[in-house]
């Protein structure tokens, strides 16, 4: 958050950017092509995701889509097939999610201020209300990360076996993860650590992480049953 800003007053004038990371190969899905290109009720997973961020009321000024360099032509072909007119910029990812986000940020190097949402390209069902809440919270507090309460009991593995955790004190972290642009830039200048599974873990040493309610429908397409669930959810809401 800019130093001279009242933390309770959202910086509604700040431009909004989105980095949609889709630079992975989808090994756990085990499909013939990366899961971001798989069909979800007639459109590629990634196109659903892009549409969610391009919705006009969200005021996202620029969508940066990060892809494996060798898959650019796959995406361009899919965009042509589906007559996609949504303005977006495609850039090459890196070997890890962290590297892909860093590449996305590098594309925004000329931007002097704003708020950036980092979102998994394979979370196609994120509600617009969650995206809006994340942007608005980050505009007020510098950070905002969508998260939900676990529905299952959770146990921690120990040398003796395992023990129960208090799930009321746990959260399952989703994306979007929104940050004041300069804060995210500073965080991504630090060296990569193996513990960086998301953007909050990259930023948390520099700034407290504000959690906002996520949504159980905002699932990450990871294994084949996720695609079935996503289809059922989408059918029920369209
Ligand atoms: N080098 C990478 C790795 C992952 N991602 C993106 O980060 C998001 C979350 O990652 P995950 O679900 O793990 O995707 P994959 O790495 O593709 O899957 P897997 O781990 O099964 O190979 C995905 O949108 C994925 O495309 C990325 O942009 N660049
Ligand atoms: C960023 C993320 O989606 C938050 O839940 C998650 O950490 C990605 O993890 P993965 O190991 O890349 O599947």
pLDDT at 7: 54
- Give me 71's structure tokens: 């898959």
How many whole angstroms from 227 Cα to the centroid of ligand 2? Answer: 16
CA distances from 164 to 78, 91, 153, 156, 158 (A): 46, 43, 8, 6, 11
Residue 26 falls in which region: left (phi positive, over 0), alpha (psi -120 to 50) or beta: left
pLDDT at 93: 98
Atom 10 in ligand 2: residue holding the nearest Cα:
197
SS3 64: strand
Bigger pLDDT: 7 or 223? 223
Summarize the confidence of residues 2-24 as an average pLDDT.
75
* ipTM of the complex as predicted: 0.98
Summarize the confidence of residues 168-178 as an average pLDDT.
98
pLDDT at 9: 57
Q: Which ligand approaches the C-alpha of residue 122 most closely? A: 1
| Residue 25 near residue 122, CB atoms below 8 Å | no
Q: Where are the domains of the chain?
A: 16-237
Mean pLDDT estimate for the chain: 95
Domain range 16-237, its CATH number among 3.40.50.2020, 3.90.550.10, 1.10.10.10, 2.60.40.3950: 3.90.550.10
How many Cβ atoms from other residues are within 10 Å of residue 204's Cβ? 14
Q: Which ligand approaches the C-alpha of residue 121 most closely? A: 1
pLDDT greater than 70 at residue 149: yes
How many whole angstroms from 10 Cα to the centroid of ligand 1? Answer: 32
């Amino acid at each position: 958050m800019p130093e001279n800003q009242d933390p309770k007053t959202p910086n509604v004038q700040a431009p909004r950017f989105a980095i949609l990371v889709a630079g992975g190969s989808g090994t756990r899905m085990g499909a013939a092509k990366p899961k971001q290109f798989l069909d979800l009720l007639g459109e590629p997973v990634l196109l659903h995701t892009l549409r969610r961020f391009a919705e006009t009321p969200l005021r996202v000024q620029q969508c940066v889509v990060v892809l494996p360099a060798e898959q650019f032509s796959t995406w361009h072909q899919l965009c042509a097939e589906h007559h996609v007119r949504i303005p977006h910029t495609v850039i090459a990812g890196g070997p890890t999610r962290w590297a892909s986000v860093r590449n996305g940020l590098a594309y925004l190097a000329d931007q002097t201020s704003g708020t950036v949402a980092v979102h998994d390209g394979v979370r196609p069902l994120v509600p617009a209300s969650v995206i809006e809440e994340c942007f608005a919270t980050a505009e007020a507090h510098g950070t905002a990360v969508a998260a939900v309460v676990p529905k299952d009991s959770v146990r921690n593995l120990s040398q003796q076996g395992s023990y129960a955790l208090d799930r009321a004190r746990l959260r399952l972290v989703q994306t979007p993860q929104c940050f004041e642009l300069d804060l995210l830039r500073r965080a991504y200048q630090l060296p990569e650590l193996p513990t960086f599974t998301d953007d909050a873990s990259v930023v948390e040493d520099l700034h407290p992480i504000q959690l906002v309610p996520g949504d159980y429908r905002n699932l990450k397409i990871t294994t084949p049953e996720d695609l079935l669930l996503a289809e059922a959810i989408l059918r029920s809401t369209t």
